Structure formats: structure tokens, C-alpha cells
Chains A and B, each alone.
Chain A
């Protein structure tokens, strides 16, 4: 089970939009719409912010959106705010009935 591929870091200025990619294979991201995204501030447990590629749990701002094309999923954060600066992880269900996470992306708000 190889980890999904995410860029180690992305950055953007307040008010701008950033997109974080998450590339898998036809055995995970490309095979299911069970891609999730998590936000993890330092020293805290992860928080689910996107599930089923593009759905948002209650309480997650609409600034967070998700999409998928082929084996690559994406998280877009619009209207960047200082509080968005933290780590983001993607995950996908796999054909082995397991989960696999991405390596994580550190978002810096300039």
C-alpha cells in the first residue's frame, strides 16, 4: 500500500485560493469516490473537512471544496485566512478494503 502523493507544501496570500493535489492509483483514488481530506493543527487530532470527494461535514466553511479527476483528487481553499495555515492530509478507500493516507501538505499563508 503506497501512500498517496501530496505536495509537501503550498502557500498563498490572504484572500487567494490554493489547491492541494492528492494522486493515487486505479486501486484507490481512481476506483472510489471515497476520498477524504483532514486538517490537523499542531498537537491536535485530525479534523475531517471533506468526505466522498466533495461533501463537507456540518460546520466546515464553504471555502473548502473538493474534486477528483481520474487518479487525482484536489482540495481547494478559497478566500485564504491566517487560521487555515496548518497541515492537510488526504485519504482514500482501496480495493483491499483498507485506507491509505497522503504524506501531508503544509499550507503557509503568506
Chain B
């Protein structure tokens, strides 16, 4: 069965950095685009970034552009999110999720991890 397990969350000071990981299993990781989605406490979902199946193209939400970098290692079936210059408003549970369609970004996220909490606070 498909499993996505995020790790790397924690407490970081404003201006600091964190790298999130998402270990995938149970499907052919290198065929699917992968997304990061976040949810601030008590708030709605916010899409963060996507990387194509082969990592050739990445797209970002405007507020994280230039600060966050999405990447993947298909040999390890692992997705990453490098987060730099963190701000208080980046505090959220971060989920990784698979795109439903092979090879393209369909935008339908059919499998989600359990999420990892990132808290940006001094």
C-alpha cells in the first residue's frame, strides 16, 4: 500500500532553515509529480510547491518563491523541501502528497502523508 512519511519538522527561529523529507513506498515514485501542501494551525490548506516526476521542473506558491526549494531523489524514493529564511507565517503542518496522474501535474492529490509540524518562533 502507498505510504508517505514526512520528517524533519521542529521549532526554528525566524530567519532559520529546515529541511523536510518525505519517504515514499508502495508505488513507482519516479512516475509521479509530488507536492508539498501546508496547513497553519486552525486554518485552511495552502499549496506550497510541486516537482515533476523527474525533477525537471518545479513550481512554487508566490510567498515561498526564492526561500523554499523542492527536490527529489528518485533513487531513494524521497521528496524534500528545503526551507530557508523562515518566517512566523510559515508555521504549519507540512504534508507531502502524490499527484494522481503519471507524468504530468493533474492537481488531484490522491495520497497524503500524516504531516510534520514546523514552528517558526523566537
Contacts and interface: CB of A to CB of B under 8 A. Distances in A.
Interface stretch (A16-24, A72-80, A91-99): A91-99
A32 B108 CA distance: 12
Contacts of A104: 44-45
B27 interface: no
A91 B107 contact: yes
A103 interface: yes
A51 B59 CA distance: 21
A109 interface: no
B109 A98 contact: no
B12 interface: no
Interface residues of A, number: 27
Contact of B50 (A45, A48, A99): A99
Contacts of B62: 1
Nearest to B95: A45
B107 to A, nearest CB: 4
Contacts of B113: 45
Interface in B31-66: 35, 37, 44-47, 50, 57, 59-62
Given A45-B95, A45-B115, A101 B106 contact: no
Contacts of B46: 3, 101
A89 B109 CA distance: 12
Nearest to A55: B108
A103 B114 CA distance: 21
A7 to B, nearest CB: 13
Nearest to B44: A104
Contact of A98 (B47, B100, B110, B115): B47
